[in-house]
Each structure stands twice: as C-alpha cells, then as structure tokens.
Structure 1
C-alpha cells in the first residue's frame, strides 16, 4: 500500500506498508489523499494480486479543494497507471476492505467458486 497526500501544493508519499489498518488511519476528515492498495484475490485454486486506486476527499474538505481533486488525480494517475479498480470515497463507512474486495471481484471477470465439486 501507498498513501499520497498534499504538503502545501506538492503531493508527497506519506506512507507505505502492508497493514490495512495502518493504511486506513492515514485518511482523516480534513484530508485529500490518494491511495494505492494491493489486495490478494482468488480462492484455494487460484491466487492473484489486484490493485486498487483510491481517491479520498474527507467530509471536512472545502469546496475549492474538492474541485481541484480531478486535476490532481490526473497527475497522480500519470505515475500510478496499473490498477483494476478506481474508487472515490468520502466517508469512513465506505473505507472497508470487504467493500474494496467486492469491487475488485466485480472488475475481475470470472469467479470460479470454491473449487470443490458437489457429488
């Protein structure tokens, strides 16, 4: 995972790591940020890693800064171009690894189930 936040007018890497809870706490109510998250998908027959690009606009962010996010996102996406799903979330209720996995599963095509046949 990687988190990119604003430092004045610059966008900087504010965190990296592997733990989802460490990732989640970096997104505050008055933050504008971008996240890049790798989630392992699949079942017991097939494992694969999928990438998610996240735009976070906290509920306390002002109108002008909200509007500027589309331009800033375009710049970040020039660097981070490899992802299966792109999401924009604005509340902590949406900030859920299960929700992210569901979105990746929808984008991933075929889902083969458990790999165990009923006889």
Structure 2
C-alpha cells in the first residue's frame, strides 16, 4: 500500500480544487526509491504543461491538475484530471506496485473527471486531454 497520510497532500489537493487559489496542479512523488510514502513534491499555477515539464523519466509519480477550457462561446469550464506517470526509465519494482498504489492515491485525490495514464510526456498533450474532458463533461452546445 502507498502511504498517503501526509497532511500536506490533502492541503495541496484542497488548494488545487479551491476557486480562490491560483494553484492548478500538484505533483506527488515517493519519498525515496525504497519508500512507499508519497509526499507533495511541488504545486504550481502553470497548468498541465508546467506539471509535465517537472516529470522525471526515472520516476513514477502522481499528478492532479485543474484544466480550464471553453466549451462554447458562452462559457468556460474547469475540470480535474488525475495523472498516473510511469517514466520510461522507471525501475521495474516501482512499476509493479503502481496499480495497487494508484487505488490508494485515489482515496486522497478523490474528485476528478478523467484519469490519464502517461508513460511518455507526449501522453500529456493538452489537446487530447481537453477532448476527453469535454466528453466526460456532458452537455456541449457547440457540436464538439
């Protein structure tokens, strides 16, 4: 099991979800290579692209990001995506534990519209993620 008991995880999660905060993403990493304890590595205001830039090819990480997009001429929507990052150079034993750990992390990062499994940074391009969020978001009045 992954240890998601650090109170900073919940604080960062609530900060990303808050309409009163500019923070729109958080990144969770393992304390070290041997540990199953997750900690908040960083939070930021630069959206999905900033989060993606910080992902390490040798690590497995979890991200949570608020994505804003225009659904039609009249409105802007904000939805949340849960990111499971397994870098291309991640160690085999860490990869093996990710599916179990993902379930534990979902208890801490509870509310999101889509889950994105990413093994390459290209998997986190904003356009396809926004398309998935639109589909998950329900009504669309502009034919998208």
The TM-score range, normalised by the shorter chain, is 0.7 to 0.9
Larger CA deviation: 41-50 vs 62-71: 41-50
1:110 Cα deviation after fit:
2.2
1:36 is aligned to 64
Whether the 8 Å CA contact 2:29–2:39 is kept in 1: the answer is: yes
Structure 1 segments of 4+ aligned residues over 4 angstroms from their partners: none
Deviations 1:27-62 (A, max 9, x none): 111011001010113222122210000000001112
Structure whose alpha-carbon radius of gyration is higher = 1
Q: Name the CA distance, whole Å, in 1 between partners of 2:42 and 2:50.
A: 9
Tell whether 2:110 aligns with 1:100: no
Q: 1:70-81 residue pairs with structure 2 within 5 A?
A: 70-81=99-110
Partner of 1:117: none
Unaligned runs of 5+ in 2: 1-24
Provide the TM-score with structure 1 as the length reference. 0.88
User: What is the CA distance between 1:72 and its match in structure 2?
Assistant: 1.4
Pairing 1:5–2:32 present: no
Contact 2:65 2:82 in 1 (8 A): yes
Q: Which residue of 2 aligns with 1:112?
A: 141
> Do the aligned residues in 1 keep the contact of 2:65 with 2:80 (CA within 8 Å)?
yes
Say what the alpha-carbon RMSD is for the aligned residues: 1.4
User: What is the CA–CA distance in structure 1 between the aligned matches of 2:131 and 2:77, rounded to whole Å?
Assistant: 15
Q: Determine which structure has the larger helix proportion and give its number.
A: 2
For structure 1, which segment, 105-114 or 35-44, has the greater mean C-alpha deviation from structure 2 after superposition?
105-114
Aligned residues: 114
